[in-house]
Structure 1
Amino acid sequence: MDKLHRRTWGLAVASVLLAGVGAARAEFPEKPVTLVVPFAAGGPSDKIARDLAEALRKKLNQTVIVENVGGAGGTLGAAKVATASADGYTLLVHHIGFATAPTLYRKLPYKGIDDFAYLGLINEAPSTLIGRTTLPAKSFADLRKWIAADPTKVNLAHAGVGSASHLCGLMLQSALKTELTTVPYKGTGPAMTDLMGGTVDLMCEQATNAVPQIEGDKVRAFAVTSKERMKLPSLASLPTLAESGLPDFGVTVWHGLYAPKNTPAPVLAKLNEALRGALKDPELIKRQEALGITVVSDARVEPAAHKKFVEAEVMRWAKVIQAAGSYAD
């Protein structure tokens, strides 16, 4: 083979290889994508992830699997994604605990929020302050007086250290300037069961899980934790805690989507595009709104704005956790 032919052949091979690389990128995903939920099946985050998985499936034209990896307040599931292959096939759906873990836990099984690539914010949900139906208080004003009479006798349940109910409970105690007896559970399910059964007094729980119990008169609702009232017609009259005497109170439980650090930029772009499309899916929006949840449609669906938002949340919650002295090993 002469020099000219060798050069022509080499250029042809290079062109084929480059085309192959481009095709491989364009074909992502070539196999099922897994959404890791760092909490047990059946909980609020799990429900959200399953709705999102179906909407993403339509955009990616590929199966999207939800895998529950619970334990240690969500840090085990997060660690699994942080150490997974950076190829876009293993993603993390995590809530506000993603931003509180660096302060809440003395040792994390991963380095922190910089171990992830940010894909976009998914939603924001108010929590509700709910209580057993046999409580003597009918309103938040009555509840506040009842708590003040003897805080040591008031039991506040939560779904485990690092859970949304735990974090909201910390904020509530800080706002009330009162320390209550907290009762940790291994998940939202058993905590809610005991609240409905009257074993514990109060719980600060995501609307995702609380709305059906409120509407079924299985628990008593005192207020919502967001700055604005819920849009659900059945709960539109439920006041916010800010309206009820805690003017600076405002807690929403948000969820975001993440990939391992160093995931290739073209893959991240494809995933973000799919996420943005999924968040416009009418069925997803309908399911979320039925639970009082707002699907994010602002700039935070983009990676840079999502990361900036999370960094601000880290700073905000660090102050609350440090003031409460609430840490986990």
Structure 2
Amino acid sequence: MHRRALLTAAALPLALPASAQGWPGGPVRGIVPFAAGSATDIVSRLYAERMREVLGQPVVIENRAGASGLIGAESVARAAPDGLTLLFGTNSTNAAANALFRRVPFNMESDFAAVSLLASVPLLVAVAENSPHRTLNDLLAAARSRPEAVSYASASASQRVATEMLASMAGVRLLDVPYRSSPLAVQDLISGRVDVFVADQAVILPAAQNGQLRVLAATTKTRSPQLPDVPTVAEAANLPDYELFAWFVMVVPAATPAPAIARLNAAVRHAGANPELRQRLEETLGMTVMTSTPEEAAAFVRSEIIKWTNAIRAAGIQPE
């Protein structure tokens, strides 16, 4: 399923079953499995603000960071299936986890029910503005001459997989430096404690725009509209088969009643049609808003599990 085929332009909430009209009777908890300031956090807070207009109740954001998102995701998988606890999931928690970790404390496919896709975003290969690496080929040449001497930050599965996939396809070895959150990794990149960071555009773009970071390449097949002069990895490193992008999805515990899922879906699609949300995500942060039906979201996630599993294996990453 192509990500742009899922774009939703509907401006009005869907019709709901009568049994869902009075739900929810209280606040909804939105679990973000990454730290405040991360791309997932930004997306979740923008959606939560507008979902209230349909739900009539606030969506209260709770950041539960740690273990590449597994801690927060597990808390939702174990929550009561009443629709009052939801996960702002990502490719890290809902597609890549099984291939990256020997023990995942939930089943990605059977422990969750999909509500809707939310957005997708390119990743950017970034270095500090004062880095000696002016181009992606400069960085790869340095890594080739000094195996594992060039370090990279990773605060999520998508960041690690994107970087290791690049290293594998380019025939170099980089040193992984794990971080608890993307904002911390950005600060260390700026200060020179780590050499490169491949992260969501929403995380990299602000520091690049204020002159603290230099973007060497984008991980998607096409260039980012916000950075038209920045080549793709495929262009910059002559790796035509390289492509990876991150995405965000809303899921709830399995066995959540269908009327609750329908009402949450209506709230998400209403939020996704909001001009201010779209302007912030698409024009400012370079994301693509891609709300969907629950069925489309479930099919997309199934296809992405296969894609990310294959990418992780091809990159030679061993489960931890």
**Residue 310 to residue 26, structure 1, CA distance change in 2 (3 Å):** same
Alpha-carbon separation, structure 1, partners of 2:59 and 2:70: 22
Distance apart, 1:64 and its partner CA: 1.1
Partner of 1:315: 306
Partner of 1:115: 111
Partner of 1:287: 280
Matched-pair contact (CA < 8 Å) for 2:120–2:290: yes
Partner of 1:304: 295
Note if 1:73 corresponds to 2:68: yes
Partner of 2:254: 261
Alpha-carbon separation, structure 2, partners of 1:69 and 1:141: 37
Q: Which of 147, 152, 155 is equivalent to 2:143?
A: 147
RMSD: 1.6
Q: Which runs of structure 2 are paired with 1:182-221 in the superposition (5 Å)?
A: 182-221=176-215
Note if 1:248 corresponds to 2:241: yes
* Secondary structure of residue in 1 paired with 2:197: strand
Q: Which of 142, 154, 158 is equivalent to 2:154?
A: 158
Once structures 1 and 2 are overlaid, which stretch shifts more, 112-121 or 171-180? 171-180
Q: Which of 72, 76, 87 is equivalent to 1:92?
A: 87
Matched-pair contact (CA < 8 Å) for 2:32–2:61: yes
Note if 1:137 corresponds to 2:129: no
Matched-pair contact (CA < 8 Å) for 1:170–1:320: no
Structure showing greater radius of gyration is: 1
Compute the TM-score of the two structures, normalised by the length of structure 2.
0.89
Distance apart, 1:23 and its partner CA: 6.4
Matched-pair contact (CA < 8 Å) for 2:144–2:173: no
Alpha-carbon separation, structure 2, partners of 1:326 and 1:176: 18
**Unaligned ranges ≥5, structure 1:** 1-21
Distance apart, 1:24 and its partner CA: 5.6
* Secondary structure of residue in 2 paired with 1:91: strand
Alpha-carbon separation, structure 2, partners of 1:231 and 1:103: 32
Alpha-carbon separation, structure 2, partners of 1:114 and 1:157: 32
* Secondary structure of residue in 1 paired with 2:21: helix
Matched-pair contact (CA < 8 Å) for 2:153–2:176: yes
Matched-pair contact (CA < 8 Å) for 1:33–1:89: yes
Alpha-carbon separation, structure 2, partners of 1:23 and 1:284: 29
Larger RCO (CA within 8 A; separation ≥ 6): 2
Partner of 1:325: 317
Structure 1 residues 18-56: Cα deviation after superposition (integer angstroms, max 9, x where no partner): xxxx86632011111111001122211111111110121
Give the AA of the match of 1:237.
Answer: D
Give the AA of the match of 2:225.
Answer: K
Note if 1:59 corresponds to 2:51: no
Note if 1:230 corresponds to 2:224: yes
Structure number having the greater helix percentage: 1
Alpha-carbon separation, structure 2, partners of 1:268 and 1:89: 10
Alpha-carbon separation, structure 2, partners of 1:145 and 1:105: 31
Give the AA of the match of 1:106.
Answer: R
Alpha-carbon separation, structure 1, partners of 2:82 and 2:168: 42
Give the AA of the match of 2:251.
Answer: Y
Matched-pair contact (CA < 8 Å) for 1:133–1:198: no
Distance apart, 1:198 and its partner CA: 0.9
Distance apart, 1:133 and its partner CA: 2.4
How high is the sequence identity, in percent, across the aligned residues? 35
Distance apart, 1:168 and its partner CA: 1.5
Q: Which of 101, 121, 139 is equivalent to 1:105?
A: 101
Alpha-carbon separation, structure 1, partners of 2:36 and 2:132: 34
**Residue 199 to residue 88, structure 1, CA distance change in 2 (3 Å):** same
Structure 1 residues 62-85: Cα deviation after superposition (integer angstroms, max 9, x where no partner): 211101111211111111111111
Compute the TM-score of the two structures, normalised by the length of structure 1.
0.87
Structure 1 residues 219-244: Cα deviation after superposition (integer angstroms, max 9, x where no partner): 11101111111112xx2211111222
Give the AA of the match of 1:261.
Answer: A
Matched-pair contact (CA < 8 Å) for 1:157–1:200: yes
* Secondary structure of residue in 2 paired with 1:304: helix
Alpha-carbon separation, structure 1, partners of 2:158 and 2:317: 17
**Unaligned ranges ≥5, structure 2:** 1-16
Alpha-carbon separation, structure 2, partners of 1:269 and 1:24: 10
Matched-pair contact (CA < 8 Å) for 1:321–1:327: no
